[in-house]
Amino acid sequence: MSTLQLANAVLDTPLGSTLAAGANVTGPLNTVLNWMAWMVTAAGVAGLLIVGTRMAIAVRTGDGEEHLSQFLTVMGACVIGATAGPIVSTVMPWL
């Protein structure tokens, strides 16, 4: 087989067939990632509510506890969780 025939055979293969096979593989992965994104969102909201409640109780009782570190920890986790989805969706086409 000549180089020209080989190049023609490679170029004639439909790219959609390989993309369709990849979609079958990543379909369940996308479902799991969507569920995890919702769980991270719910955990972030719950964490902020808990920290806010503890701050309100501390102010009301007159305790001088430092809650800023807890607040920043929860906010950092929210930022990591929020950026994980776009990073994965950016990397997924190349997998």
pLDDT of residue 20: 53
Alpha-carbon gap, residue 29 to 25, rounded angstroms: 8
Residue 61 lies in a domain: yes
Contacts of 65 (CB under 8 A, 6+ apart): 58
Question: Which residue range forms the structural domain that includes residue 75?
Answer: 28-94
Residue 5 belongs to a domain? no
- What is the tens place of the pLDDT at every residue in 28-61? 777 887 888 888 889 999 999 999 999 888 888 8
Q: Per the structure block, which two tokens stand in for 28?
A: 């369940």
Residue 16 lies in a domain: no
- Residue 75: inside a domain: yes
* pLDDT band with cut points at 50, 70 and 90 for residue 10: low
33, part of any domain: yes
Q: Is residue 12 part of a domain?
A: no
For residue 60, being part of any structural domain is answered with yes
Query: Could you tell me if residue 86 is inside a domain?
Result: yes
- How many domains are contained in the chain? 1
The span from the CA of 4 to the CA of 17, in Å, is: 23
